[in-house]
A = this chain, B = another copy of it.
Amino acid sequence: MDDPLFLASDLRLAVHRLARRLRVEQPDDDLTLTQISALATIWRFGPLTAGDLAQRERVRPPSISRVLASLEAAGLAQRRENPRDARQVIVSVTPAGDRRILEAVRMSEAWLAERLQMLTADEHDVLAKAAALMERLASAEERSLADRRATT
């Protein structure tokens, strides 16, 4: 039952399928999950450099550039040059982004929130704990990465 091999298999498929479903259930007029994820990270940890954001989101710099361009076009985030190192870009949430983020997140969560109401309080508790564990798994460092970029 808690054989790590079967668990890995079950968890992997469940995550894949729920992620696929969540993408489909996005409201058309709102931000995509990728944009919300980045915006939430800027909101929580910003201002931060584009590179730091890419690391926190665990995507490559070009991917972050794309997302940032869309968030900037939507007026929700802004990029400024770092006066102390002109190579860097400092990313922050705009006042409009700050005003809208909670609502945007709530709206985009509507489908899932409704389905969660079908579950019991105990099941909510399991999912809350699991969400924290999945974040840890998603962020887990590994040898190969540590080798590639020595983050001290």
The answer to whether B130 touches A59 (Cβ under 8 A) is no
The answer to whether A124 touches B16 (Cβ under 8 A) is no
> Does A86 sit at the interface, judged by CB under 8 A?
no
> Does A7 sit at the interface, judged by CB under 8 A?
yes
Interface of A is mostly: helix
Q: In the complex, A125→B125 CA distance in Å?
A: 13
This protein's copies in its complex: 2
Min Cβ gap A13→B in Å is 6
The answer to whether A127 touches B37 (Cβ under 8 A) is no
> Does A138 sit at the interface, judged by CB under 8 A?
yes
Interface size class of A (residues with CB under 8 A): 35 or more
Given known A-B contacts A2-B121, A40-B13, A140-B118, A134 and B7 have beta carbons under 8 A apart:
no
Closest to A128 in B: B7
> Does A18 sit at the interface, judged by CB under 8 A?
yes
Cβ-neighbour of A112 out of B12, B113, B125, B131 (below 8 A): B12
- Which residues of A come within 8 Å of B, CB atoms? 1-2, 4-5, 7-22, 24, 33-34, 36-37, 40, 57-59, 105-106, 108-109, 112-113, 115-119, 121, 123-135, 137-140
